[in-house]
Amino acid sequence: MENNVYTVTSLKNDNVFIHAIEGHFITANTHLNCYVGTSDIKHHHRVSVEAAKLLAEHYKARGIDIDTILCLYETETLGAYLADELTKASMLSPNPSDDIYIVSPEYDATGNMIFRDNIRKMIENRKVLILMSCITSGNTVRRGMNCVKYYGGKTIAVSAAFSAISDIDGIEVNSIFTKDDLSSYEAYSALECPLCKQGKKIDALANGHGYSKL
């Protein structure tokens, strides 16, 4: 499986890249013919800083103010750098807000996202950006949006290192990489997966944290 690894570099910044691995992967919602690796964007200082700059451009150019960044699947480092970029003054945003919270949800026994009372104030009545590493179907983002709504906030933006979709319930997805950058990338439902129909074994289980070979 690792023999099919290749690197995709951002056309806007050659310091920002992802890795793709061809194979048969399954997530909680879909089957994939390609795993998108974003570990460097999430965990490597230089790559994460440069990725944050790319994501911030979208909101600065449009004058979109963010109060809180909700980080899902280990994107806290990227979220902090993104907040730093959004609070820097520029010609497009001469007076940015310097009051951005970076939060992550807790999960209860059934997998629901929750926030303790001391964190709830960072969501309630706030304009929230949901940040993920990879978006395939958008279901995890929708769970995040429902959680934000429950706690009295409003999701106004969605960002990701990679996204296979461009819109989630009317909100544009701001991503560094898209399916156009991974021409072979496909996602299937479990019942319609052609890899399963061809009898190809599952290589690994995958989620926002990474993958585990079977």
d(CA 112, CA 147): 8
pLDDT at 96 over 70: no
pLDDT digits (tens, 9 = 90+) for 174-214: 999 999 999 889 999 999 999 999 999 999 999 988 999 98
Q: CA of 147: how far to CAs of 100, 133, 187, in Å?
A: 19, 19, 25
Q: Which of 180, 169, 116 is nearest to 141 (CA)?
A: 169
| Mean pLDDT of all residues in 104-113 | 92
CA distance 64 to 82: 13
In SS3 terms, 128-139 reads as EEEEEEEECCCH
Q: Work out the pLDDT band at 151, boundaries 50, 70, 90.
A: very high
Strands, E assignment, the chain: 5-9, 17-26, 31-37, 68-71, 101-103, 106-107, 113-114, 127-135, 154-163, 167-168, 171-178, 187-188, 204-207, 210-213
pLDDT on residue 28: 85
Least confident residue range of 58-72, 80-94, 110-124: 80-94
What distance in Å separates the CA atoms of residue 145 and residue 158, rounded to the nearest whole number?
Answer: 10
Q: Above 90 in pLDDT, residue 57?
A: yes
Q: For the chain, which domains are there?
A: 2-213 (3.40.50.2020)
Distance CA 129, CA 31 (A): 27
The answer to whether residue 2 scores a pLDDT higher than 90 is no
pTM over 0.85: yes
Average pLDDT in the 73-82 region?
97
Write out pLDDT tens, residues 15-38.
Answer: 999 999 999 999 988 999 999 999
For position 93, what pLDDT does the model report?
Answer: 64
CA–CA dist 134, 20 (Å, integer): 12
Structure confidence by residue, pLDDT tens digits, 128-145: 999 999 999 999 999 999
Average pLDDT over residues 84-101: 77
